[in-house]
Amino acid sequence: MPVPRQDGPEFWNSTRIEHIRQLARFGEPVWVWDRAKYSSRRLLDRLFFRAELEEDVSGSLASAEEIDTSVSMAGGEISLTTPIYLGDMSFGALSGVPNIALARAADLTGILTGTGEGGLHPEVRKCRRITVQWASARFGVDIDVLNTGMGIVIKIGQGAKPGIGGHLPGVKVSRLISETRRIPVGVDAISPAPHHDIYSIEDLGQRIMALKEATGKPVFVKVGVTNYIGYIACGVARMGADGIIMDGQGAGTGAAPEVVRNNVGLPVEIAVPVVDEMLRREGLREGFSVVAAGRVSSAEDTAKLIALGADLVSLGTASLIAMGCIMVHKCHLGFCPAVLTNKIEENPVKLLSLETATKWVVNMVKGWTAELKLILERLGVESVRELCGRRDLLVARGVEPSQLSVMGVKTSA
Amino acid sequence: MAGVVGRQPAEPPIVSMGSTGPPYVEEPFFIRDHIVIDGAQVTRPSIDPYREPVESHVYLCGGRLRLSMPVVVKLGHHLSNSFREGVVRACYCMGVLVMIDNPTGLEKYGEGLLTEPAYVGDGVYAGYYGEPSRCRESGKPFFAHVGASTDFLWLGPVLEHVSGIVVDEDLGGVDDVEVVVSLLDRELRRHGVRNSVSLVAGGWSVRGADDVFKLVALGADAVMLSTCVEKTLEPLLTHDTSHVREKMENLLLGLQREIKLLAGAAGVSNIFNTIVGNRELLRAVELPRDIRALLSIKLAGEG
């Protein structure tokens, strides 16, 4: 039977999916420079590293192996082996096994994974390198949960629907989910659009302080990228958060109204340099983590976003593709052909293998990191930290000049 | 929420995974495909459009006409009578005006119709539309019906007689409707009549609630749907009136809900007071400087 596919234009085309699958299968680098970038229209795909265009291999480094990809967050309290954060996907949106696989893969590779809004799966709770999410509906949140992970994420918004709360369609609210989230079976779980106790930067500051006092853990704030993202990031930093997760237009979602998904929010590649610049100007950049999310599809995207000013990137869709997602865009219906986002039943007919899924995500992270090291070697940069904010390494082709000047990137001569 | 397809009519469609829309995946076709809408967060709260009220009604002609949402429907004379009656009845019940060139047989819905000046005296109509020079004193609002052009030389002489302007792309015109709307909005302000002269714009290119929202934010009081309605209801062209009416009501209710979703996400509780002409809610992604200047909207990433 032919595999169901999404018709029409698609960012996650077969080249990108195939590339991530290769990484997931072998854990080895596939290519240095992303070949899929020529097949899409995104602004980030029209930015190039000078090193790629000039083929100027500096050769100053002995080998890619010596490159340091580690990053630290929250003033060194959390250190990651590679600048990857596995995006916040909830138990309920994903069907359990993928949640566990992501959390275990983060433990095995020394990175960090977000657990999303819907409470913790008992197996995820056993993992160490997770962040727990404090979202507007507070599903499944209590002090034990808050104390579980390495950090807390206050979710204000997400890239697929900034200004709108989380959606879990009633068809996916099975008995298990109803127990975790404490909501009736079969009823839509629509989180409130705003946090009703956070109506301003000052309110946010109080919540950050309250969570820090209660748990002693670092607090991050996740927002969708919107018009005033620079001011929002400064406010978040000023109020004592340890980092901001910026989710751009095009980021994945388990369910969102189409009209909001396609029209609200800006691409993350435009926001990252603006936020980086504004934070530096205000003297707030030091020790504050900027996580870029939304359509991060390859190691080259990672390197570019870091060069634009991010500290690390968040992978959501890419990690699902590593576990077998084929982008049919039907997560909200509960019958995912790749068994990632299907409805959670008591006796599932088919189930993802936890071992295999974990291995695939671990391999993807390893392969991704290896590709990132190769790119850094070509750039002549010794560490990821050194790459942060190096907009001078980038040139643009075919991008509107005024858009580039907002971003602080030069156009290619 | 439409978790299952067809579970409830008039629900805004729910989708999943990343956007496939323009400008970054689908090829942008219109200027508004490069425009994105704001979402409210942290510095100001969004409004929960599923639970909290968002007022979607707008007033035209200084309060003489009230629409339940910023939408006007235009029906052509090539459509069958039963189809036209179904659409008109739905719009009448839902509080949306219909522009119709021949209202014969639909006089009982007259309060919801805008029609040609030739029918002055034939019934009670909400208002009339026609070429700027064809304005007749009827005591009712008169809309100047013009194509999409930035040549506003006709405007000055007729400004005293008209209570609204309909920029209709179906009449042709050489300019983009976004640019015409934005410039005309400012032109009316320059003449000091913006609060009494309404601006309705649209036509074949309007595809849905997102286009309605963006054109309203660029300066239109209401957006005219023509091809959009015909194409949506095309399978019903031969059906009876009540069937067409039901589907048309679903379409209007769905559009209203989507407009409320966009407004709620932007933290706005009243379309007429806050969105009409509020270009600050919009940002242009990679639009050239000259077009941005015409629209007077900022670039993505500019505070």
pLDDT over threshold 70, residue A57? no
| pLDDT the model gives residue B4 | 47
Read off the pLDDT of each residue in A169-195 and give the average, rounded to a whole number.
89
Q: Which residues of B touch A187 (CB under 8 A)?
A: none
Q: Please name the member of A201, A259, A329 whose beta carbon is closest to the beta carbon of B16.
A: A329
Q: What secondary structure letter does DSSP report for A363?
A: H
The two structure tokens encoding residue A164: 């709108």
The four Cα atoms B235, B238, B240, B241 give a dihedral, to 10 degrees, of 70
**Please, are residues A149 and A130 in contact by the beta-carbon 8 Å criterion?**
yes
Read off the pLDDT of each residue in A328-352 and give the average, rounded to a whole number.
87
Give which of B11, B17, B35, B251 to mutate to test A binding, by max A Cβ within 10 Å: B17
Q: Please name the member of B17, B39, B213 whose beta carbon is closest to the beta carbon of A265.
A: B39
Closest listed residue to residue B146, CA positions, set B120, B227, B159: B159
Q: Could B286 and A43 be called an inter-chain contact, meaning their C-beta atoms sit closer than 8 Å?
A: yes
| pLDDT the model gives residue A2 | 64
Q: Could A406 and B281 be called an inter-chain contact, meaning their C-beta atoms sit closer than 8 Å?
A: no
Task: Output the CA torsion sign for B181, B186, B189, B191.
Answer: negative
| pLDDT the model gives residue A58 | 54
Each residue's pLDDT tens digit in chain B (303 positions)?
544 444 688 899 999 999 999 999 999 999 999 999 999 988 889 999 999 999 999 999 999 999 999 999 999 888 888 999 999 999 999 999 999 999 999 999 999 999 999 998 888 999 999 998 887 778 899 999 999 999 999 998 888 889 999 999 999 989 999 999 999 999 999 999 999 999 999 999 999 999 999 999 999 999 999 999 999 998 887 778 999 999 999 999 999 999 999 999 999 999 999 999 999 999 999 999 999 999 999 999 987
Q: What secondary structure letter does DSSP report for B170?
A: G
pLDDT over threshold 80, residue A363? yes
Per the listing, tokens 């595999």 go with: A3
Rounded CA-CA distance A129/A289 in Å is 17
In sequence order, the 6+-apart residues with CB closer than 8 A to the CB of A107 are A127, A128, A129
Chain length of chain A:
413
pLDDT tens readout for residues A139-165? 878 899 999 999 999 999 999 999 999
| pLDDT the model gives residue A233 | 96
Is A338 within 8 Å of chain B by CB? no
Task: Write out the E strands in A294-358.
Answer: 312-315
Rounded CA-CA distance A157/A56 in Å is 41
Read off the pLDDT of each residue in A224-229 and give the average, rounded to a whole number.
94
Distance from CA of B252 to the nearest CA of A (A): 15
- Give the ipTM of the model, two decimals please: 0.93
Q: Could A264 and B39 be called an inter-chain contact, meaning their C-beta atoms sit closer than 8 Å?
A: yes
**Please, are residues B42 and A197 in contact by the beta-carbon 8 Å criterion?**
no
Closest listed residue to residue B271, CA positions, set B228, B230, B225, B213: B213
Rounded CA-CA distance B221/B201 in Å is 8
**Please, are residues B201 and B166 in contact by the beta-carbon 8 Å criterion?**
yes
The mean of the pLDDT values for chain A is 91
CA atoms lying within 13 Å on the CB side of residue B252: 30
The two structure tokens encoding residue A389: 């904010």
Rounded CA-CA distance A31/A371 in Å is 7
Longest dimension (CA), chain A: 62
| pLDDT the model gives residue B6 | 43
CATH match for A14-411 among 3.40.250.10, 2.20.28.270, 3.20.20.70, 3.20.20.10: 3.20.20.70
CATH class as words, domain B55-263: alpha beta
pLDDT over threshold 70, residue A169? yes
State the distance between the two ends of chain A, measured CA to CA, in whole angstroms. Answer: 50
Per the listing, tokens 């390495």 go with: A150
Q: Could B300 and A267 be called an inter-chain contact, meaning their C-beta atoms sit closer than 8 Å?
A: yes
Is A149 within 8 Å of chain B by CB? no
Q: Could A270 and B300 be called an inter-chain contact, meaning their C-beta atoms sit closer than 8 Å?
A: yes
A 160-179 near B (Cβ less than 8 A): 160-165, 167, 169-172
Q: Please name the member of B15, B38, B48 whose beta carbon is closest to the beta carbon of A258.
A: B15
| pLDDT the model gives residue A141 | 86
| pLDDT the model gives residue A48 | 94
Q: Which residues of A touch B211 (CB under 8 A)?
A: none
Q: Could B38 and A167 be called an inter-chain contact, meaning their C-beta atoms sit closer than 8 Å?
A: no
Q: Could A156 and B266 be called an inter-chain contact, meaning their C-beta atoms sit closer than 8 Å?
A: no
3-class secondary-structure state, position A223: strand
Distance from CA of B14 to the nearest CA of A (A): 4
Read off the pLDDT of each residue in A259-286 and give the average, rounded to a whole number.
95
Alpha-carbon distances, residue B105 vs A144, B84, B85, B123, B249 (angstroms): 70, 10, 9, 11, 21
Is B6 within 8 Å of chain A by CB? no
**Please, are residues B196 and B163 in contact by the beta-carbon 8 Å criterion?**
yes
| pLDDT the model gives residue B148 | 95
Q: How far from the centroid of its chain's Cα atoms is residue B292's Cα? A: 22
φ, ψ at B73 (rounded to 5°) = -105, 140
Best-predicted range by mean pLDDT (A187-191, A316-320, B5-9, B239-243)? A316-320
Read off the pLDDT of each residue in A341-345 and give the average, rounded to a whole number.
88
Distance from CA of A323 to the nearest CA of B (A): 15
Read off the pLDDT of each residue in A114-135 and give the average, rounded to a whole number.
91
pLDDT over threshold 70, residue A56? no
φ, ψ at B242 (rounded to 5°) = -65, -35
Read off the pLDDT of each residue in A319-336 and give the average, rounded to a whole number.
92
Rounded CA-CA distance A35/A38 in Å is 6
| pLDDT the model gives residue B93 | 95
Closest listed residue to residue B106, CA positions, set B91, B89, B120: B89
A 104-133 near B (Cβ less than 8 A): none
| pLDDT the model gives residue B2 | 44
Domain ranges in chain B are: 55-263
| pLDDT the model gives residue A116 | 87
In sequence order, the 6+-apart residues with CB closer than 8 A to the CB of A98 are A89, A320, A323, A340, A341, A352, A357
Q: Could B24 and A231 be called an inter-chain contact, meaning their C-beta atoms sit closer than 8 Å?
A: no
